[in-house]
């Protein structure tokens, strides 16, 4: 029972899946985060390493320990190391102000995984005109991340407007019987628009990985580059 | 233990609430339905009596037993007795074909309770253009009944377009984790559009009573008639 | 990823729905609340703007920043700007002492949306005589908001006594398996009294919007004023 | 693996608890029911044996096999053997017509376990006047069984009117999100009236045993008889 | 909106149900508790008034404000005023150490409502011999309150040993998927021992009221006193 | 109330989203299915129209009414009209024999929406060697559909082996507490492999649409064709 | 899409885990069962092959197709091929008559997997004396399978009496809120007796495999045989 | 009501089950823990006594009060008294870093109950190669404890690789809809690998007791020692 409580990253993942392991910051001590980030950036000097769900303290310590790292206080992420050239584009569509932290986590992930994100915020369905005004921008993306809490209807409306793959992210925004995002998640899984796929509640990172893989494969193919995810 | 299993209607309800008791057909024998309908039409000869959730057999027997009754095989209702003059209007907005039985139950209830319903069908949110094309008709109603299954987003979209009171009816249409309408109901209770109120799953009757009371009070006031619900 | 975290109100909502956007204070910083309130009162100088779910700090700061605003510490609301003339009346019926914050939020909303609320408190069903003594006052209202936690039976009893539209609000009052209001909400959705409609748990604001729209339409029609919600 | 599938009653239970084992008919073959009933009536010739949840076939076969048995087709029970002298009285209060099968099962159980039941039917809370008219009869009972489906509010109202012990029975009557009686059960467990206790959904038998034990103990004490349950 | 937030006790309850209203301390300010306790002790000088779920602060303040009150720091109750003569007896049977606060609340309630409680603690079913050793004491009580968390099996075992009415109280003791007492409650509602009735999670007060009403009716009848609950 | 119960397809969807509306056969009469299929094939003669969830009767009638249609009795689909040229490839990976109907529905959808599916069956995780043997074939696909019931672990294992986008489909295969696929769905939403996205239970169609959109965009880009979904 | 719907057993499992694959009969056609049984008995002529969850038709057809097979109509199993010598013993303890099918499935599995089962039936906790009378027989087993529905308390009581490993099997026996075995399963997972482990609802097969592996390892070691599971 | 709140250990448990009672530290005061530990070590001087779920304060105080005790800050356990000679071995297999506290609690329990644990950490299924590399070490153990959060698939994969009894422990590691370990627990109960048994969420102690009883019985038999659990 004297094994130390170290973090052992999966250094082989980049070879198998085309992306290095990311560090999920929640539930880890700041020391564990720093150690893991140092190990992964050393092992993969040519690729940006992503840390998600950082506490205020973790953001501060990382800023000091990795001066060149890029810190996002809204999405609570740290990115350290050279970003890959972006291929393809991802529209990140968010219903309300409170969904922005999840949107920022998704955007940072998309960028770190090699695609180009852009944000359309405050386009919730109680004010449809704002969303309809952006229809053409959305239709031009290679993948869409649609983020909403409460009744979670935004991905269905988006999925009825365009034929781009839609990744829906339920958020824990809401009150009463929103049940921490379960209502939104159930609504998204029952979308009447075909082809909407869903990730876990508040999982901007997961949506970002999926969207980046789709968009960069399309973008790479368009550019005549063979991707090997 | 020799009490007979008779149905005892609440004859006093018309006086207290302005509407006679309706007969909920499900779980009652055809003989019980006929007996209750006879008792209520006798007690209230001046008002139409409504039977809901009738089986095929109940519809057939009522047609024979009450030749002047109006039978609706889609909404599974029987109406017997003189309809009150309609006051005000109610828009019944239904997302898909499968929601029509609930919509018909709601319309029949609205009419029997003294208001004028009209139907807008197949205006689900996966094809927004159809709903937007009807915006002005909906805005002119005194109350709206918005009916949807699956992700249940229709009432939120309607509630963002107009300021008329919206009564949302979740339906048990859907599959997988739609859970017999629970997903739609949760979504409606968490609507981001203010003022949306909700009734139980598939409860077209309850929505019809609520909408009729609202619309006929407005319509009566407009006509200078004092209502006394 | 350099978009600022601003709040962007939906200034068009007043035109579409007849009511300006309200500000949901929970989950917003005090600075965001003040900014949104300033933007909305500037855009709609002729109508009162409502802020709900304010923290103690938000109430204090708003009192200083908007000296003419009306502050309610029980219902945790701020109202800023000229109140519309009230049309129609809304009875707010609350089961117990602990339901009063929700009742106050509902009353403030009703008043800000243009109708006249009055409160009947402590009329829970374990002491029926108190409720029965108020039957006639309730029957004279144009709409009723019935608020209860625990077993949530009050709206059913009220709905059996009068024919006025009843909007039921479950509250998170209770303990053990009251499950934060879910039991009361389920009970209200399954009411044996016809025409009871339901809003989300603790959602006094939503009930207030719905009731005000109903009551002011009736009151306006009675007064010969055409409303255009 | 050649053990026969026989039913082995607990013949010692009468000595331990004062009541012989009852036979739960559901899920047993008619042959198993007849064998168990024969074994128990033989073992306890001085006490009535109760069979609950009988299918049509089981009722018919028992009528033939036990000609002196008392058969109740509504409550689906068979009682065979001499009934004990009744002590004390139990009011069985049922909200609606559909709750009567559960009420009859409860009444038969009360009688077979040695107390005197009486029925008050159709006293649901949507028509309070009927219940209030019976207040004094209910207050005179030694125990009350209050039976309701849908929102399950009847026991709370009864518990606020009198101080007699109230045993609440939720029934699976209802539709939509009544969830087979769960809503009624949750409401009863959260009753705002003190002292309401609850049994499982549709469990008229369990309520009957509990009520009979209470009422016969009181009645026996009143009569100067020492009971030894 | 200037109604004060006062507590209005139901002074009529003693006349209707035989017991004065108790004060549920949770969710009330200390000032509200003191005011309610003063009002009820003044209205009913001949009967003890019970306060449950008191915070540390409420216990301290009540001790100062009502020097003759009896304070229980384990069960978190205050009793103020003359206790009624006890009639009948109630066995309070608790599975583990962590169930004692609920047991003490139940015992205080039983005593304040006019019966005599006695405690059997640490008789959980993982060590059956301790429970079996107390079988005869339990069988002599007029009512039993059986309290358990985790798998909640104690009431079933007790209900199989004796024929006394058993009121089961699930407690929120446990971890993992005990779900705050829901598992224990479900187990108790599904007891294979007939006649077990259940109250809400941790509701020692409700169990105490029900048990006291049963035991004092039996005890009074035995003593030749007519009770009028 | 004399509106006919017709089906009104959304003919505009092809223009908006690049795919014609599909017909969900469950809950529709055979006549409604035939009418909708005729209307859609007439409106879109250049594209295959898909019908899903067909009953035996619907398959038989469609075979007769549309002699050139392709019928799949396992996946319960009908495809009518010219298939688009396939672009890109989709690996459909199924855990067990019972998952094959969902796999076939997914494959038919992928093909009708313009990509090329191939099936890897019986590669459940209780026999890992079979899955590992196919690793390279899976890695070469442009998108993966991973289908599993029971504990739903297959998509996580696949997602740890390759970097291709994985769409997980929970199936209702299992027993006990598999709860009709909910367990598998929860497991998939909580996958420890990044980038796994999820559709509703048994929703092979939804997974097929999403996968086809991804794969055909990549395949088209590779072929130098501009897609306009 | 022309792959045939064949069943492909995992012939390698015997080598990896020491036991051949069993055939889960539910959801398979009789032809599929027969084919799989033939394939497995051919591949493993030295070991008995087990089929579980057989329909009446499957039992009949297997009896004809495999004349030497052993058929159990209560447990719905077929065993075909030579049984291994039994090592160690397993006590199968069942609460009630309705739990016997699960008990028989478990016993057949134990025997087919190489250990010796014995049955103790009708030892539910509402009649503790029967269970206590068997304490020593249970204590002598190498593993215990404890089977119960309703409140699921039997494994906790058994686990408090002896130190043998206890595998608990919840059954779907019960009614009302037993929820198809979920209540029993939750109770077993929350057992206050240490070391109780749980399998899925009605999963006699799973419990049998686990118990057989434990008992035969102990029995083999006792006999000086090295087992190589 | 003057009974003291003492802890009364079950000193007879060692005789009945072969293991002394362990002390569950959560929810007990430090003084209660110290008193119980002193009582049990005094009663059983020949056997180690285990305390689980200790707070930081409890660990510190125990270290001072019992200088010879062994303290584990990761698993939050205290062990005091002579360890029994170990028989048999238990592989403790943990998916991720966050599962280590549960793994350490399990290992300490295994050792205190008389078997020899060894740890295989960071072998989650998103990186299968690490697990496959340890297959032979796992296959040599007498029992396996497999610990995982999130989708909880590790025990299924392990159970497909070897024939050793597998005890699965779901952990509350995860986010979004992992629901505090419920998802992992459901997945484990629905494992497609036969013979996997499950304990409650985070219940390393329960898994340790079960595994130690299995392994020490096998190891003792192998060594020719008769165990008497």
Strands E77-80 and E49-52: antiparallel
For the entire predicted model, the pTM comes to 0.91
Contact G201 F72 (CB under 8 A): no
pLDDT for G178: 63
Percent of chain B scoring above 90 in pLDDT: 75
Considering only CB atoms, which chain H residues are within 8 Å of G161? 16-17
Distance of CA A175 to the CA centre of its chain: 24
Q: Distance between CA atoms of H140 and H134, rounded to whole angstroms?
A: 10
Q: How far is E132 from chain C (nearest CA, A)?
A: 30
Q: How far is B194 from chain C (nearest CA, A)?
A: 6
> Which of C176-180, D108-112, F16-20 tops mean pLDDT?
D108-112
Length of chain E: 229
Considering only CB atoms, which chain B residues are within 8 Å of A126? 156, 159-160, 192-193
Burial of residue A200, with CB atoms counted within 10 A of its CB: 0-12 exposed, 13-18 middle, 19 or more buried: buried
Considering only CB atoms, which chain H residues are within 8 Å of F191? 150-151
Percent of chain C scoring above 90 in pLDDT: 75
Whole-number average pLDDT of chain E? 91
**In this structure, is the dihedral angle defined by the CA atoms of residues A48, A50, A56 and A62, taken in order, positive or negative?**
negative
Residues G24-28, mean pLDDT to the nearest whole number: 85
Out of F126, F128, F192, name the one closest to residue H151 (CB).
F192
Residues of chain B falling short of pLDDT 70: 1-7, 174-179, 226-229
Strand segments (E) across E63-189: 70-72, 77-80, 89-94, 116-120, 143-148, 166-170
Residues C200-211, mean pLDDT to the nearest whole number: 96
pLDDT for E1: 42
Quote the radius of gyration of chain H (alpha carbons, Å). 18
Q: How far is D66 from chain C (nearest CA, A)?
A: 41
Out of E7, E32, E202, name the one closest to residue C176 (CB).
E202
Q: What is the largest CA-CA distance in chain G?
A: 62
Whole-number average pLDDT of chain G? 91
Considering only CB atoms, which chain C residues are within 8 Å of E203? 175-176
The answer to whether B87 touches B220, Cβ cutoff 8 Å, is: yes
Q: How confident is the model at residue D85 (pLDDT cuts 50, 70, 90)?
A: very high
Considering only CB atoms, which chain C residues are within 8 Å of A105? none
Query: Would you report the helix, strand and coil content of chain E in percent, each value rounded to 5?
Result: 45, 15, 40
Q: Distance between CA atoms of E19 and C90, rounded to whole angstroms?
A: 35
Considering only CB atoms, which chain D residues are within 8 Å of B3? 119, 121
Residue D17's closest CA among D227, D225, D226, D180?
D227
The answer to whether G199 touches G146, Cβ cutoff 8 Å, is: no
pLDDT for E135: 94
Contact A175 C3 (CB under 8 A): no
For the stretch E124-150, pLDDT in tens is 898 888 999 999 999 999 999 999 999
pLDDT for G229: 42
For the stretch C46-101, pLDDT in tens is 999 999 999 999 999 999 999 999 999 999 999 999 999 999 999 999 998 889 99
Contact G1 F104 (CB under 8 A): yes
Out of G96, G177, G192, name the one closest to residue E190 (CB).
G177
Residues F9-22, mean pLDDT to the nearest whole number: 89
For the stretch B99-158, pLDDT in tens is 999 999 999 999 999 999 999 998 989 888 899 999 999 999 999 999 999 989 999 999
The answer to whether E131 touches G192, Cβ cutoff 8 Å, is: no
Out of H74, H107, H176, name the one closest to residue A5 (CB).
H74
Q: Distance between CA atoms of D100 and D121, rounded to whole angstroms?
A: 8
Tokens for G165, please give them: 């490993």
Subunits adjacent to chain C (3 or more Cβ pairs under 8 Å): A, B, D, E
Using the predicted structure, report yes or no on whether residue D229 has a pLDDT greater than 50.
Answer: no
Contact G119 D28 (CB under 8 A): no
pLDDT for E176: 60
Q: What does the buried/exposed string (b/e) look like for C13-46 if buried means 16 or more CB atoms within 10 Å of the residue's CB? A: bbebbbbbbbbbbeebebebbbbbbebbbeebee
Position with higher pLDDT, G48 vs C172 = G48
Subunits adjacent to chain G (3 or more Cβ pairs under 8 Å): D, E, F, H
Residues C153-174, mean pLDDT to the nearest whole number: 93
Q: How far is B119 from chain F (nearest CA, A)?
A: 8
pLDDT for B39: 94
Considering only CB atoms, which chain A residues are within 8 Å of H96? none
Q: Distance between CA atoms of A181 and A147, rounded to whole angstroms?
A: 11
Q: Distance between CA atoms of C151 and C130, rounded to whole angstroms?
A: 18
Q: How far is A15 from chain C (nearest CA, A)?
A: 29
Contact D198 E197 (CB under 8 A): yes
For the stretch G135-147, pLDDT in tens is 999 999 999 999 9
Give CA torsion, residues F115, F120, F121, F122, to 10 deg: -150
pLDDT for F229: 43
Using the predicted structure, report yes or no on whether residue E170 has a pLDDT greater than 90.
Answer: yes
Considering only CB atoms, which chain D residues are within 8 Å of G104? 1
């Amino acid at each position: 029972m004297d094994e130390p409580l170290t973090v052992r990253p999966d250094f082989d993942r980049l070879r198998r899946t085309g992306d290095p392991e990311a560090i999920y910051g929640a539930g880890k001590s700041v020391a564990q985060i720093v150690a893991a980030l140092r190990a992964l950036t050393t092992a993969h000097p040519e690729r940006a390493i992503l840390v998600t769900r950082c506490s205020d303290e973790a953001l501060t310590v990382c800023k000091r320990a990795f001066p060149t790292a890029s810190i996002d206080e809204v999405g609570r992420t740290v990115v350290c190391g050279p970003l890959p050239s972006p291929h393809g584009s991802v529209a990140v569509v968010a219903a309300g102000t409170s969904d922005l932290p999840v949107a920022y986590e998704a955007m940072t992930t998309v960028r770190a995984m090699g695609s180009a994100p852009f944000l359309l915020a405050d386009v919730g369905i109680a004010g449809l005109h704002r969303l309809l005004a952006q229809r053409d921008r959305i239709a031009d993306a290679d993948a869409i991340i649609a983020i909403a809490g409460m009744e979670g209807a935004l991905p269905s409306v988006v999925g009825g407007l365009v034929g781009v793959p839609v990744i829906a992210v339920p958020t824990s925004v809401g009150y009463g019987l929103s049940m921490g995002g379960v209502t939104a998640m159930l609504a998204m899984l029952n979308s009447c628009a075909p082809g909407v796929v869903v990730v876990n509640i508040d999982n901007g990172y997961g949506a970002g990985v999926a969207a980046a893989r789709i968009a960069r494969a399309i973008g790479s193919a368009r550019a005549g580059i063979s991707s090997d995810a």
